[in-house]
Structure 1
Amino acid sequence: MTIACVGITVLDRVFRVSQLPTTGGKFVAKDYFEVGGGPAATAAVAISKLGTPVEFIGRVGSDDVAQTMLREFASYGVGHSHVKQFENAASSFSAILVDDAGERMIINYQSAQLSRDPEWLKKISFEQFQSVLCDVRWIPGAKYALEQAKCLGIPSVLDADITPEDITELVELADHVAFSEPGLAKFSQVDDPLEGLRIAQTKTNGKVYVTVGSKGCYWLENGELCHQPGFKVDVVDTTGAGDVFHGAFALAVADKMDARAAVTFSSAVAALKCTKLGGREGVPDRSTAEAFIKANT
């Protein structure tokens, strides 16, 4: 079994601070480190750490940032033979502030020189994958991948986080649309996530979900509202928690878990991730996640 993760890969430059700034000024970081990030890329790392083969499909520049991210993929066992490098382009990176409560502030930069044209994806045989996960940071690429999944009967997952672009086409195509709370608010144009879910359901024949931080995950099952509470852990850093949730969810979908089991599994993996600093270090192996679920349900 192999899973495809299509989207963005980013180098995260992480600064530890006591509190997130609320005004302009000068601030001193208590710690600093660099680690790979990006929704689809971190989802791919999560899948690999959970013990399942995965291929990341996305774009990078021709700089040292790209080499750093590709080396990290290799260290985590993430396949990256379908990563497209563009000459004279800068790879994506983010500045991230993380406070003592584990909350974070992210500022991302994507170079306009990274071509959005998905034509090169036609060289990839999507028949090899048992599920396809797409983020919303590369809309043309996600659209092509979701169309391929639908044509081939491969289950697909959309990580529907907030983005300035219209994602209606992607929502319509995906079998499972997992919104972040801000992503759902923007898509549905309402602040109440439960009302937003019902609005989102009118836009797709797939299943819709929304993650609401420590409150857990809500989804609709045959028109009925379902809920999985968040697992309680000692939070160190929430960076990448949503990305890890989506990676675990794509694995659960490939394993043909039902919605309740898939959400429970994904929630547990994301919660355990939050117990360590960084978006990837805390991702558990599968046996640890399953033992955690058994001990906490």
Structure 2
Amino acid sequence: MSAAVFVGLTTLDIAYLVDNYPAEDAKTKAVDQYLGAGGPAANAAVAYAHLSAVGPTLVTALGAHQLTELVRSELVACNVAVVDANPASAQQLPISSIVVARLASTRTIISLDASRMSAPFDDTFVDVLDDAHVVLVDAHYPDLALGMAGEAQRRGIPVVLDAGRWMAAHDAILPLVDVAICSSAFAPPGVDDVVGYLRDRGPAKVAITDGANAIRYSTPEGVGVLDVDAVEAVDTLGAGDVLHGAFCHFTAAGHEFVDALDRAAQVASLSCRYFGSRRWMTHHSVES
């Protein structure tokens, strides 16, 4: 199996597990904590690496800040190769602060995302596409997404878009995308028919995820829904990222769109049973 390339945001995640959300101006003792690499592209790359046992490449921005080594070392330990689009930057890596409420099975995230980090595209980055069967972009770094997706399209490599929420960059990126997997929070301004909007702008295959609810999908052959496994959720943090990484794995392994989406949803559901973005991997048997 050839590897995949993931393009987009990497953060440092600091997550706390509590029974209930803290009251305002209060102190709360956490039940558990997690510290590690996060962000849509990074989490998806880690999930892919676990499922495929083939090291993918993550094209992102890390920089030279002292916090970066925490993230870089974990990614390397997870068998993810990193191409840093801004290695000399002294800007602090984006930090996501997360509270996971166990009894509500919900999480709240506060993050700067990519708002203070620069990630210019360089033509040399496309060398990592030589052995790739799939490319995922998350649009947090538009220049990187456009450059890598454009080259992947020229080479005939399928491009998957992870769209958790609407970003202005999506208008330029969508014509380069083959598969768009969006959350129900993806809401382009003035658009009622999100699936139709996506299909009109490029992607032939579209899926809309909605947490524990069924996944809606559309292909040239028709539309349908996929039920999501009911699980006793502890933490939904990163579940969407796991789904995207798993989808890329099953796609690269030769599964057709609906089957790959169904299998990926099963893995994402499993991940919700465990706190943090990695613990699910110790409870999952790798399969193709």
Q: What does the per-residue CA deviation read over 1:205-250, in whole Å, with 9 as the maximum and x for residues that have no partner?
A: 4211111110131111226221111111221110000001001111
Post-superposition shift, 1:189?
3.0
Task: Give the count of matched residue pairs.
Answer: 284
* CA distance in structure 2 between the aligned counterparts of 1:285 and 1:49, rounded to whole angstroms: 12
Give identity over the alignment, percent.
25
* CA distance in structure 2 between the aligned counterparts of 1:219 and 1:121, rounded to whole angstroms: 35
* CA distance in structure 2 between the aligned counterparts of 1:36 and 1:203, rounded to whole angstroms: 32
Alpha carbons 1:9, 1:36 under 8 Å: kept: yes
Find 2:163's aligned residue among 148, 160, 163.
160
Correspondence 1:26 to 2:29: no
For 2:40, the aligned partner's letter is: P
For 1:276, the aligned partner's letter is: Y
User: Helix, strand or coil: the match of 1:210?
Assistant: strand
Change (3 A) 1:81 1:164: closer
Change (3 A) 1:285 1:235: closer
Aligned to 2:16: 15
Q: When you count helix as a share of all residues, which structure comes out higher?
A: 1
Aligned to 1:280: 278
Find 2:117's aligned residue among 111, 114, 139.
114
Alpha carbons 1:9, 1:39 under 8 Å: kept: yes
Change (3 A) 1:271 1:118: same
After TM superposition, where is structure 1 displaced by more than 6 Å over at least 4 residues in a row? none
* Unaligned runs of at least 5 residues, structure 2: none
User: Helix, strand or coil: the match of 2:76?
Assistant: helix
* CA distance in structure 2 between the aligned counterparts of 1:285 and 1:169, rounded to whole angstroms: 39
Change (3 A) 1:205 1:282: closer
Q: CA RMSD in A?
A: 2.3
Moved more, 155-164 or 33-42: 155-164
Matches within 5 A, 1:156-195: 156-183=159-186, 185-186=187-188, 189-190=191-192, 195=193
* CA distance in structure 1 between the aligned counterparts of 2:285 and 2:43, rounded to whole angstroms: 20
TM-score by length of 1: 0.87
Aligned to 2:39: 38
TM-score by length of 2: 0.90
Alpha carbons 1:265, 1:289 under 8 Å: kept: no
For 1:60, the aligned partner's letter is: L
Post-superposition shift, 1:25?
3.0
* CA distance in structure 2 between the aligned counterparts of 1:169 and 1:284, rounded to whole angstroms: 39
Alpha carbons 2:4, 2:134 under 8 Å: kept: yes
* Unaligned runs of at least 5 residues, structure 1: 291-297
Alpha carbons 1:241, 1:270 under 8 Å: kept: yes
* CA distance in structure 1 between the aligned counterparts of 2:77 and 2:276, rounded to whole angstroms: 16
Alpha carbons 1:269, 1:289 under 8 Å: kept: no
Correspondence 1:48 to 2:49: yes
* CA distance in structure 1 between the aligned counterparts of 2:83 and 2:167, rounded to whole angstroms: 29
* CA distance in structure 2 between the aligned counterparts of 1:221 and 1:285, rounded to whole angstroms: 33
Aligned to 1:76: 78
Change (3 A) 1:27 1:120: farther
Q: What does the per-residue CA deviation read over 1:105-147, in whole Å, with 9 as the maximum and x for residues that have no partner?
A: 1111246553232126546342221111111211111111110
For 2:10, the aligned partner's letter is: T
Change (3 A) 1:3 1:125: closer
Alpha carbons 2:86, 2:118 under 8 Å: kept: no
* CA distance in structure 2 between the aligned counterparts of 1:121 and 1:108, rounded to whole angstroms: 30
* CA distance in structure 2 between the aligned counterparts of 1:251 and 1:280, rounded to whole angstroms: 17
